[in-house]
Structure formats: structure tokens, C-alpha cells
Amino acid sequence: MTLNLDDAKNTAEVLTTALPYIQRFVDKLIVVKYGGNAMTDPELESSFARDIVLLKTVGIHPVVVHGGGPQVDNLLKELGRQSDRIDGMRVTDKSTMDIVEMVLGGSVNKSIVSLINKHGGRAIGLTGKDANLIQAKKLMMEKMGEDGIAVPIDLGFVGDVVSVNKDVINMLIASDFIPVIAPLGVDKEGNTYNINADLVAGKVAEFLQAEKLMLLTNIKGVLGRDGEVVTGLTPKKVDALIEDGTISGGMIPKIQCALDAVRSGVKSAVIVDGRVPHATLLEIFTNEGVGTLISREIEASQS
């Protein structure tokens, strides 16, 4: 079979449109946080894996950091276990940590690796415990009491990132592998910690000085008061949107990860609608994208 003339023109236009973006990002490192609906819908899972393989094939270096909260919840439910959350953070005791490690570092991580490899990639699964990839410390939260005094909250084995062993990731990239990282960390005493995947992705991007950080989520991006997606943001604009309440609730931690990465040297960060098939490619190979872009370059050009 051969393409008819109209199909041939459309195909050629798509390929040539992508060319300047491929040239821009070739040999650059992009950290992608993979989670939400994109991890539970078979069609979206497949499109994500193909996107990652295509990026690697054209000379871009993707690093995948994945979540897996719903999968952990499902297994806990099957085992008759209750998992409490405080402000969206899972309270993780020792037995719960064992289950989290089994799901994130085992079934979820290996499933993503297998899917990428099925589509022709060379993925390798890691947790933060491998080669001390992610050094962590215990995360302590504070909650304001009714008397206005901050009360410390112990979440158990929930961690924060201290450092990332970038040599391990760079070695894998140099050997043409695609790292797939489960968000687990380890402290100096050997304790394992469950860490928010957005936070891990942001820190990995920061330590590697990535070109772009991409956070796949279950919403269109940062929404303005009119309900439309707000993009082309700078750290200064984000601060203003948080202050006036436009950005609130569960979006604040996610956008804070993106902000911290940009302020630490990552060229840009984007919060992407992971429910859109091939969202990763659309974000990198088109000018419009499918999410909210945060960049220092925009701020510099306007000052």
C-alpha cells in the first residue's frame, strides 16, 4: 500500500514540524514524572512507553521517575490494611513501608521497564536504594493547631531527598539505557523511606541539571480563575498566583517541585495533562504543548 497524496502531505508536515524541536533537544536530558491516569489506562500506558522510546531513538535522554499510590492502595485494601493520610501524605509505618517498597520497587517499576522494552527501548529499573541513588532523611510535617501553635506530625517512614547520585544515572545514559526510578530513598542508617514522586523527579532534574522537568498529572495544568490553562509562567508569577489563591490545595506541592527545580538551574518545568495520548511528545515537539510551562528564560527576557 502507498499513502494517498493528502495523507503523505500530512505525514511529511508532522515530521518536518518536529525537526527543529528534535534539533533543540538532541543530547539533552529530560526528567519525566510518570503517574496518575497514564499509569492505569492501557492505551495511555502504551503511548507513554512509545513516547519514551521515540525520545531516546532521536537522541534525547529521558529519565523516568514513577509514582504508584493507587497500586499501593489497592494492595493494602486486598490485605485488609488501612492507610491513613495527612494533607495528602501517606502515614507509613514499618509494615506499610514493606508493602510500599514491594509495590513501587517491584511490580510497578518492573511493569514500566517491561513496557518500554517491549516497544524497543532499553530500560533499567532502579530504586533510590540501588548504589545509594537517593540519599534521604525523615520528613517531618507541622500542622497548625486550633490554638495557632504548630504541632509536629510524625508520618513514619516518609522521606525527603538529601542528594542524588548522578554518576549512576549518567553512567546508564552514556550506555544508552533509559533509567526508570522508583521514589524510594535510604538514609545513612540504612532506613528506607517512601518519598513523593514529584519531589524525587524535581530533585533528580536538579542534580542532573536537566533541560526540562515534566510532571504528568490528572488535570490540564495550572488553571486560572476563568478555568483556562495558565502557561508561560515565571517563578515570580507563580508566587503571585499562590498568594492570591489562584493556585491552591493539592496543586501547591506539585508546582513547588517545579519551581524549586527551575530555581536550581533546570531550564524549564512543565505540568502536563497525562490523560492526553502522547502528551510527552506533544509537549516537547510542539510549540503549544498540553500543560503549564514554568521557565526562568521567560522571566529573564521580560526583565
Give, for all 303 residues of the chain, the pLDDT tens digit.
Answer: 566 676 667 767 777 788 888 899 999 999 999 987 678 888 999 999 999 999 999 999 999 999 998 899 889 889 888 777 776 678 888 999 999 999 999 999 999 999 999 999 999 999 999 999 999 999 987 776 667 777 778 888 999 999 999 999 999 999 999 999 999 999 999 999 999 999 999 999 999 999 999 999 887 777 767 667 777 777 788 778 777 777 766 677 788 888 899 999 999 998 888 888 888 988 888 876 667 888 875 444 443
Is 203 strand, coil or helix?
Answer: helix
How far is 211 from 283, CA to CA, in rounded Å?
13
How far is 18 from 233, CA to CA, in rounded Å?
24
CA angle 76, 80, 83 (to 5 degrees): 50
For residues 294 and 268, is the Cβ–Cβ distance under 8 A? yes
Annotated binding site for substrate: 68-69, 90, 194
CA angle 232, 292, 36 (to 5 degrees): 170
Annotated binding site: 68-69, 90, 194
Residues across the chain = 303
Amino acid at 302: Q
Grid coordinates representing 286? 510542539
